[in-house]
Structure 1
C-alpha cells in the first residue's frame, strides 16, 4: 500500500483552520521495521505569541522552539514526562505556532504498533494519546525539523470528516496556563473511541 504526502501548500492556512483540516488525514511513518499509519482523530492548536499554554508564548525563541519560527508544515517534536509528542508547525514564518496531533485511529502496521506498545491490550490502547501514538508509529525526538510533506514521516490524504462530526472543546492538561486553559482549541471526531480521555462526548460542536 502506497501513500503520498500532501503538498507543502496544504499547511499554508491559519493554525485553527489547520487543526480542523488535519482531522481525518493520515499520519504515516516509514521505518526499517515497516510502515505504520493512523487517521488523525484529535488535534490541539497552540498559537504561540498569544497563547500562555504554548512553548513559544511571547515569541519565546529557544533551541527547542526554533523550528516553529520557520515555515509551516515541519515537524516539532519534544519530550514531556519521557514521552515524545509530535506537532505540525503552523502559521507564517516568525509567528511560532503549532498543532499537536493528540490521537489517531490505527490504519496500517497494527502488528508493528503492538510490538512497540508492549503493554497495549487492545487497539484503542495503541494510539489514544499523544505519547502513545508516537511510540506506536516509531516517531522519535530526532524527527524534529523534518518536512511533513516528504518521507519518511508525513501526512497523506485521508477520510473526509463532515463538519458536524468535528467537536471543539478546551485543551487537555494545561491547568497552569491562565485564561488559555479555557480556549476552545481542541478538535476531535465525535464519538470516536480512539480520542483521548472519556469526557469528549459532552463537548460542544463547532
Structure 2
C-alpha cells in the first residue's frame, strides 16, 4: 500500500473543519516492530482559550501544553488515566487549539496491534478509543512535539467519507457548558467508532 503523506497546507484550516477533514485520512506510526496504520473514523475538536474542556483554556501555557501554541500539524500527546492520547495541533500559531483522534479503523499491521493490545481482542476493540489506538499503533509520549508531515508518525491521504455525524464530546462532564458543544465527529455507521 503506497502512502502519500499529507502536506503542511492540509493543516491550515479551522480546527472544526480539520476535525472533519481528518476523517478518512490514514494515521500511521512506524516502529521497530513494523508499520501500523488505520483510517481515522472519529475526532473531537478543542478550541483552546474559549473552550473550558481544552487544555489550552484561558491560554494556559505549561510544559505539557506548550506544543499547542506551535503551528498546526504538530503532535500533541498527553496522558489521561495512564493512557496516552494523540492530538493534532490546529488553528493559528499562539492559539492553543487541537483535534483529538478518538478512533481508527485498522488497515496495516493488525498482527502487531494484536500483540500490543492482546491476542484475544476482537478487531473492533483494537482501536475503538483514543487510548486503545495509541497502544495499538505504538504512539507514546515520546512522539510529543513531532510533526505529522514526517516519519515516524504521520497522516497520509486516505479515502473520501460520505456521511459524517456529530455529537457532544465524550468524558468531559466537568467542563461547564463546553460539555454540550457538538464538536465530536465520526464516520456514520463505522463499527470502530468508540461510542454511538
The TM-score range, normalised by the shorter chain, is over 0.9
| Structure 2: stretches of 5+ with no match in the other structure | none
Give the drift of 1:2: 3.4
Partner of 1:191: 189
Give the Å deviation of 1:191: 1.2
| Separation (CA, whole Å) in 2 of partners of 1:121 and 1:60 | 39
CA RMSD of aligned residues (A): 0.8
- Secondary structure of 1:133's counterpart equals helix
Structure 1 length-normalised TM: 0.94
How many residues align? The count is: 196
Matched, 1:148 2:148: yes
CA contact (8 A) 1:24 1:41 kept: yes
Alpha-carbon distance between aligned partners in 2 of 1:184 and 1:118, rounded to the nearest angstrom? 33
Deviation at 1:185, TM superposition (A): 0.2
Q: Which residue of 1 aligns with 2:72?
A: 72
* d(CA) in 1 for partners of 2:142, 2:108: 23
Aligned-partner Cα distance in 1 for 2:118–2:182: 34
**CA shift digits 1:70-126 (9 cap, x unpaired):** 100000000111100000000101100000000000001000000000165210010
Contact 1:120 1:126 in 2 (8 A): no
Q: Find the aligned partners of 1:153 and 1:120 in 2 and give their Cα distance.
A: 27
The residue number in structure 1 matching 2:110 is 110
Counterpart secondary structure, 1:16: helix
Alpha-carbon distance in 2 for matches of 1:64, 1:15: 20
Structure 1: distance between partners of 2:185 and 2:52: 19
Residues 1-206 of structure 1 aligned to structure 2 (within 5 Å): 1-118=1-118, 120-162=120-162, 165-197=163-195, 200=196
Instruction: Assess if the C-alpha contact under 8 Å between 1:49 and 1:57 holds in 2.
Output: yes
Q: Structure 2 length normalisation: TM-score?
A: 0.98
Cα distance between partner residues in 1 of 2:167 and 2:120: 27
